[in-house]
Amino acid sequence: MYLHLGGDMVVKTSDVVAILNLENISTSQSSREYLKSLENRSGIGSFDPEETKSIVLTRENVFASPISSLTLMKRASTLID
């Protein structure tokens, strides 16, 4: 099954490793450094923190999504059940 991340982004649910709430991970210094390192090595490219609500880690890539982590988790769980 596939999980729609917003816009034209779709990933296989079996490839999803984690769905992170950007607001929660932005409060930690180490998490901010990790996001910055992903941007620097073009893992997610630069993203707009005002539009981005969650970060989705897959086996191969990292995606910035405008959809909340809670909504993505609900979508993923209905696809997995």
pTM: 0.80
pLDDT of res. 33: 86
pLDDT of res. 11: 92
Q: What is the pLDDT of residues 6-43, one digit of tens each?
A: 888 899 999 999 999 988 887 888 888 887 787 776 56
Q: For residues 42 and 36, is the Cβ–Cβ distance under 8 A?
A: no
pLDDT of res. 32: 80
pLDDT of res. 34: 80
pLDDT(81) > 60 = no
Residue 60: Cβ-neighbour burial (10 angstroms; 0-12, 13-18, 19+): exposed
Mean pLDDT over all residues of the chain?
A: 84
Helices (H) and strands (E) in the chain, counts: 3, 5
